[in-house]
C-alpha cells in the first residue's frame, strides 16, 4: 500500500550550523521505528517540491534524480516527488539483500531506513551533452548533504554508502534499465 506523507515542516529546532557541526557517520542503530513525519521530512529534503522548484538545485531544472526507500518493516518504495507519497514496489523487507549487495555491510540491515539516490542521465545530458554527467553528480551531492543534515536536525544518525555492486543493487531495487543507483544512505536512531 502506498504511504501518503505528512506535509513537511519549514522550521526545525536546530540551527544549520549545529547540524553541520554534529553530522557524523554512524553505523550502530537502535531497533526503533522512525516516525512517518520524520521520514516525510527526510524525503522532502531529498528532492521535495517548494512551489514549482525543488529543495536541491538542478541544472536547467532537468531533475534527473529518482529516490528509492527501504523501510525495514514495510518494504521497498519509490518516492513520488510530485505527490509527496511513497509508492509501494514490494512488501518484502529488502534491508538484508541491500546490505549484501553493498559488500555485506551488515549495519545497513539494522537501519530502519535506507534511502537510495538514483539517476537517469538522459534527463540532463539531452540538454548539456557530456557535461550533463557532471551536473547529475553535483545534484546527487546536494541531495545527499540535505539528507545527512536533515537527519541530524531530526535526532537521527546516518552514514553514506558508496561501496556496493551496482547491478546487484539494481536487482534488489527492481530498477528500470534507464535508472542507475549511485548513493545509499542508511538512517536510524543512534545507539
* Distance (Å, whole) CA 73 – CA 2: 14
Q: What is the pTM of this model?
A: 0.96
Q: To the nearest whole number, what is the mean pLDDT of the chain?
A: 96
CATH number at residue 126: 3.40.109.10
Q: For 42-56, what is each residue's pLDDT tens digit? A: 999 999 888 778 999
* pLDDT score for 73: 85
Range of the domain at 130: 14-188
Contact predicate 99/109, CB 8 Å: yes
* Distance (Å, whole) CA 3 – CA 85: 6
In a domain, 2, yes or no: no
Q: For 76-89, what is each residue's pLDDT tens digit? A: 999 999 999 999 99
* pLDDT score for 30: 96
Sheet with strand 113-119: strands edge to edge: 3-4, 85-90, 75-80, 65-71, 113-119, 180-188, 157-161
Q: How many domains does the chain have?
A: 1
φ, ψ (nearest 5 deg) of residue 177: -60, -25
Mean of the pLDDT values across residues 57-72?
A: 96
Please state the separation of Cα 96 from the chain's center in Å: 17
Query: Over the Cα atoms of the chain, what is R_g?
Result: 16
In a domain, 6, yes or no: no
* pLDDT score for 53: 86
In a domain, 109, yes or no: yes
In a domain, 51, yes or no: yes
* Distance (Å, whole) CA 187 – CA 92: 19
Which residues are paired to 113 by β-bridges?
71, 187
The upper half-sphere exposure of residue 75, i.e. CA atoms within 13 Å in the direction of its Cβ, equals 14
Amino acid at each position: 500500500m502506498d504511504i501518503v506523507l505528512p506535509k513537511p515542516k519549514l522550521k526545525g529546532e536546530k540551527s544549520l550550523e549545529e547540524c553541520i557541526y554534529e553530522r557524523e557517520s554512524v553505523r550502530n542503530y537502535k531497533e526503533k521505528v522512525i516516525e512517518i513525519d520524520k521520514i516525510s521530512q527526510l524525503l522532502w529534503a531529498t528532492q521535495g517540491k517548494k512551489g514549482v522548484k525543488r529543495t536541491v538545485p538542478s541544472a536547467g531544472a532537468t531533475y534527473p534524480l529518482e529516490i528509492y526507500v527501504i523501510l525495514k518493516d514495510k518494504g521497498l518504495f519509490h518516492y513520488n516527488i510530485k505527490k509527496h507519497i511513497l509508492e509501494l514496489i514490494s512488501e518484502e523487507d529488502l534491508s538484508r539483500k541491500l546490505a549484501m549487495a553493498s559488500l555485506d555491510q551488515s549495519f545497513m540491515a539494522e537501519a530502519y531506513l535506507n534511502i537510495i539516490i538514483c539517476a537517469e542521465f538522459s534527463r540532463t545530458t539531452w540538454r548539456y551533452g557530456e557535461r550533463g554527467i557532471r551536473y547529475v553528480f553535483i545534484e546527487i551531492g546536494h541531495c545527499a548533504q540535505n539528507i545527512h543534515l536533515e537527519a541530524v536536525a531530526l535526532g537521527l544518525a546516518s552514514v553514506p554508502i558508496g561501496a556496493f555492486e551496482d547491478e546487484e543493487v539494481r536487482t534488489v531495487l527492481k530498477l528500470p534499465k534507464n535508472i542507475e543507483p549511485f548513493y545509499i544512505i542508511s538512517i536510524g536512531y543512534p545507539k
